Amino acid sequence: MRGLNYGRLNTEISQMSNVITSANDRTPTTLKAHLVTRLRDAIIARRFKPGDRMNESQLARQFGVSRIPVREALQQLQEQGLVMNHPRRGMFVNILSDDDCQQINGLRIILEAEALKLCRARLTAASEKQLLDLVERMENSNAGSEIDAAALDLEFHRAIWNLSGNTYLEKVLNSQVPMLFAHQALEYTSNNEKLWPLYHHRQLLDVVLGKSEQTAEEAMIAHLRLRYTNPERYSSLAYASPKPQAREPGDEAGAIRRD
Ligand SMILES: [Zn+2]
């Protein structure tokens, strides 16, 4: 973790204020939204770098506002995964190691598979339409930036978590997964590459619609393999079934063992 450099932060924030205000064509409706936009753009532009501390009082002084809207803005950035809260140390720009990403993937395979299965069990015509619309938006997307593409991708996954009907499952996923999306989007942005794949979500929709040959766990692993090698490394599936194969429909529970 980098040390705190107030001098550099001061300079960067005042530069950021000038540059972003003139470049920004959005019209924030509230102070909080304004702060969120400016801080988000500064993180994307790497004026705040991964691991930099987002000091609440320092930012409040620089923006000439009280700490409350800054705190609220940082909380919103945390929900988007761009900022991470370290207890007793404060807020920092997202910094995840490869190992962190793979551990979150291990969690996603298990918990999102559960969400997919719950979503399938509770599916209504309205939720089917909601998911289909999202998949079609992604398939036709020309997202302007990696962050926009990541937001659309996350919107689909969040819809699945929400449609699981288990608010605690949804909360756990919402507290851990957005930072993975944000990390990846920042990596892609800094490499100046348009890489974010959005076309492959129909396979997850097929699981929800009961049209897939894959179990929910297998579909999640396949989904994550598009971007990671061995995304199952930190889940028990790496031990139970290193190479997931299609099973008989209805046998997906067999993929998780508690022995
Ligand atoms: Zn996805």
Structure tokens at 138: 């992604």
Q: How far apart are CA 223 and CA 258, in angstroms?
A: 24
CA of 154 relative to ligand 1 center, distance in Å: 7
94-129 pLDDT per residue, tens: 999 999 999 999 999 999 999 999 999 999 999 999
What is the residue type of 221?
A: I
Q: What is the DSSP letter of 84?
A: E
Query: Whose CA is closest to 222, among 201, 240, 208?
Result: 201
At 194 the pLDDT is: 64
At 181 the pLDDT is: 92
What is the residue type of 191?
A: N
At 26 the pLDDT is: 44
213-241 pLDDT per residue, tens: 999 999 999 999 988 999 999 998 888 65
Q: Evaluate if residue 4 carries a pLDDT over 80.
A: no
The chain-wide mean pLDDT, for the chain, equals 84
Instruction: Estimate the crossing angle of helix 146-163 against helix 98-121, to 10 degrees.
Output: 40
At 142 the pLDDT is: 78
Query: Whose CA is closest to 109, among 2, 238, 14?
Result: 238
Q: Evaluate if residue 14 carries a pLDDT over 60.
A: no
Query: In which residue are the tokens 């897939």 written?
Result: 212
Q: Evaluate if residue 172 carries a pLDDT over 60.
A: yes
Distances from the Cα of 259 to the Cα of 128, 239, 253, angstroms:
36, 11, 14
CA of 89 relative to ligand 1 center, distance in Å: 31
CA of 161 relative to ligand 1 center, distance in Å: 12
Q: pTM to 2 decimals?
A: 0.76
Q: How far apart are CA 52 and CA 93, in angstroms?
A: 5
Q: What residue ranges define each of the domains in the chain, with the CATH number in brackets?
A: 6-93 (1.10.10.10), 98-255 (1.20.120.530)
CA of 199 relative to ligand 1 center, distance in Å: 9
**Residues near 138 by beta carbon (within 8 Å), at least 6 away in sequence:** 152, 153, 156, 198, 199, 201
